[in-house]
Structure 1
Amino acid sequence: MWVFDSGSGHLMTMDVQFGRRVAHWRTRRRLSQQEFAFLMQRSLRWVEALEGGRRQADPNLSVVTEIAARLGVSVERLLYDPVVLCPAESEIDAVRAVLHRHDVITGRTDDAGVDPVPVACLRRDLVHARTGFQAGHFARLGTQIPALLIDATRAAERHQGEDRQEAYRLLSLSLELTEAAAIKWGDGELAVMAGQRAVAAAERCEDPVIKASAARHLADAMTSHGQAAAAVDFARAAAARLQPELLQRGALGWSVLGMLYLKAALAQAAVAEADDRSPDAAARAVPALLDEADEYAARLGGDGNELWTSFGPTNCALYRVAAHVQLSAGADAVVVAVGIPPAALGALPRERRAHLLTDRARGETQAGLREKAVDTLLEAEALAPEEVVCRPRTKELVEDLRLLGTGSAQRRLRGLADRCGLPR
């Protein structure tokens, strides 16, 4: 998303994908970086920095206009094109290919002459990628994750002592990130594969916090892949096993323990939704799991973001909204969503806020508030475009709204559907 600043003459960007779009259209026009540099009368280094996102964070409008003209594309499409915004299938395939590599599977590398990445550098790269995820930037993870996994695997094998334990910790967290990205990409099978590897790496690092963190990610992946009942059992078993140690770890331990119960609650809601015989009985188990998470949030005394959990009372409320939506209780979901204090919500990462808005839109759709649902989706898009125009579950909601009809919001919905790349 871009806003023109008339005072500076610059486009103030909320979209880090500008360089990605330039590279996309340059490639489509069969231009090398050097050829494009000639056309722009700039250096090759300038083009490399531009496409790599290291230059022109706030480009002058005249520069953007010139780039668009040289590439034969409209300024609007250069600034906002969902086809470029979303990850390419080849990038998702590259992540899958890395998970199938012999060294990544076995933890045994053959390149003995290559020094392992220092754990401090590995941690820095992970923090950078994780921070991007929480900001709602999922597409670029397709290019970040493969290197993270390879470097972390080599580090876990080659380092010794405390550095090896830290490398296994970072490997597990990198695999968690892979799982989380796969969920956003709508690839449940890939998510389960990464989640299982994360749990295995966590066991090697011998840190109960990392074990719990990996377990909650795997439970999420299992639920998304149609294994909700198994996810409930797994999350609850992990919580029971690790609880004594986690309670001694303060805010960090409470956060991952609370997240295990939140994931168990959503999995239980999915069990109830799929239960044709006694859905009400299955649904009655959901509030108890949410209440359990609330208890750990109360211990924190406020919202936090330990180990990128965003755990606290506000995120617990977000999960209540999601659980109501999963149980098709849209009106209840809207009531909970409306009751979340704006200041508390505003303090959460963009990914969490946009996720809530898409859940709220789903609840509004269930409650028959379809025009309002469109406005809520547009609000989510403005906040974190990739959560709306790239994520399969959200695009399905947009398609449902098109089929159901949205009255006076139909034109706004049509524009959103176009940006989602949905056929007319």
Structure 2
Amino acid sequence: MDNRGIGRRVAYWRTRRKMTQEDFGALMGQSRRWVQDFEGGKRQTDPALSVLERAIAVLQVPLEALLYDTPNRECLDTAELDTIRAALQRHDVLTGTADNDPTEPLPLDTLHRRLVHARTAFQSGHFASLGRLVPELLIDTNRAAARHQGDTRLGAFRLLSLTLELTEAAGIKYGDHDLALISGHRAVAAAERSHDPVIMASAARHLTDAMTMHGQAEAAAAFAVAAAARLEPELRACGADGLSVLGMLYLKAAMAEAVIGASDDRRAATAARSVPGLLDQADEHAEELGTDGLNRVWTAFGKTNARLYRVAAHVQLSEGADAVSVAADIPAPARAALPKERRGHLLTDLARGLTQAGQRTEAVDTLLDAERAAEEEVRCRPRTRQLVEDLLLLGVGSAEGRLRALAVRCGLPG
């Protein structure tokens, strides 16, 4: 046990839980000076078990998080997901009404800057920061939508919908599909109240993803296609933003159909055959958009991201060799221009495709590339950690040492 680092780890988790030293001390039954000394290493030579037990209860972490530098501590944890869920379950957020806070709602430009910061963090692969950023954004954007009037209120609903989309994305990343579905539904409702077709389409593509992951792939595909058909005339009038979200709707519909195609559903074969056509439709919109890598409305939509989805669809349909072939045709500069989250996602999908194709050593090296591109995409996502476990069971020959070291960094038995 590394006693010398306990105070440092307590300080880390206290800060991550957004507690002041005074608040932590009060919950520990101690003074602020005691906390300063403890975190500074003056009281941690041999901390009493009762102190550690109280600290893990206050900080909502397992004992090993204070005793050791755990490999995947940067991941969004259960307590932070619970904080996001608690914000969603507040009466004012559930009902869309004003809370009892007497202060004026924040100006839209302030909320927009905070939203940009949070969504940029997500696209940079820093998912753990969402546990700190999302709950306040949910409360503050809801308050703005409830209290503002006129065009300002419409703008607040746009920001609320985009915040709920981010909540949905966090749920998808961490395998909390209930959280994702609830957030996705509310994002669509807020988007409709914004009267903005771009935000409506953006929310629809996120809900499609959540429905697919929640086992409702058939309804998800139908919803995405219906949203695209309904909104296309208005989206075309919105320039690059409109084309970007329109293209994403077809990509999400393709993935929903691929999920059906990989199942034992009665229409699996039909669904699998529909995937290329939906991907081709997205490609057409990418061609119309022209410039790649614009990242309008945080979609990263363009020719390259459309290819990423083609890789993912092949992997979903267990067509590993095809996925590897498509990935090989993506130019390195185009891949490098993607947001880190997208790069990491492509590489983890490619690693899965290589595994399906029997190229397991290459799969391990690709996972290591993914870790370098977007660490949390590999170490924190349940789906990627499952791939690491699968490769350990399958055997990877000369890459076994590298894989076992990766497993340890993912918090898995090496």
TM-score bracket, normalised by the shorter chain, equals 0.7 to 0.9
Equivalent in the alignment of 2:169: 180
Q: Which residue of 2 aligns with 1:15?
A: none
1:227 aligned residue: 216
Of residues 413-422 and 275-284 in structure 1, the stretch that sits farther from structure 2 once superposed is 275-284
Correspondent of 1:308 among 291, 298, 317: 298
Q: Deviations over 1:157-196 (max 9, x none)?
A: 1111221111000000000000011111111110000000
Kindly indicate whether residue 207 of structure 2 is the aligned counterpart of residue 205 of structure 1: no
**Equivalent in the alignment of 2:36:** 34
The two structures have a TM-score, normalised by structure 1, of 0.83
Deviation at 1:281, TM superposition (A): 2.5
2:331 match: 341
Specify every segment of 5 or more residues in structure 1 that has no aligned partner in the other structure, as ranges. Answer: 1-18, 41-70
8 Å Cα contact 1:122/1:148 also seen in 2: yes
Output aligned runs, 1:11-410, within 5 Å.
Answer: 23-24=12-13, 34-35=36-37, 38-39=40-41, 77=69, 81-111=70-100, 113-277=102-266, 279-303=268-292, 304-410=294-400
Instruction: Kindly provide the CA deviation profile for residues 78-109 of structure 1, in whole angstroms up to 9, marking residues without a partner as x.
Output: xxx43311112110011111111110010112
Give secondary structure in 1 for the equivalent of 2:234.
helix
Q: Per the alignment, in what secondary structure is the counterpart of residue 222 of structure 1?
A: helix
Instruction: Provide the aligned length of Structure 1 versus Structure 2.
Output: 370
**SS of corresponding position for 1:285:** helix
Retained in 2: the 8 A contact 1:24–1:84? Answer: no
- Would the aligned equivalents of 1:172 and 1:199 in 2 still touch at CA under 8 Å? yes
* Aligned equivalents of 1:22, 1:348: Cα separation in 2: 35
Give the % identical residues.
61
Distance 1:380 1:293, change over 3 A: same
How far, CA to CA, are the matches of 1:37 and 1:294 in structure 2? 55
How far is the alpha carbon of 1:114 from its aligned partner?
2.0
Q: Does the CA-based 8 Å contact 2:138-2:164 persist in structure 1?
A: yes
- State the alpha-carbon separation in 2 of the partners of residues 115 and 168 from structure 1: 17
Work out whether residues 21 and 84 of structure 1, in 8 Å CA contact, stay in contact via their aligned partners in 2: no
Gaps of 5+ in 2: 1-7, 18-23, 43-64
- Per-residue CA deviations over 1:341-372 (Å, capped at 9, x if unaligned) read 00011111000000000000000000000011
Cα 1:305–1:410 change in 2 (3 A) is same
Q: Is the 8 A contact 1:20 1:84 kept in 2?
A: no
Question: In 2, Cα distance between the equivalents of 1:420 and 1:39?
Answer: 28
> Kindly tell me: are residues 155 and 284 of structure 1, through their superposed partners in 2, closer, same or farther at Cα, counting changes over 3 Å?
same
State the Cα distance separating 1:112 from its structure 2 match.
5.3
Q: 1:398 to 1:112 in 2, by over 3 A?
A: closer
**Over 4 Å off, 4+ runs:** 19-22, 25-28, 30-33, 36-40, 71-74
Residues 112/135 of structure 1: CA separation in 2 closer, same or farther (3 Å cut):
closer
TM-score by length of 2: 0.85
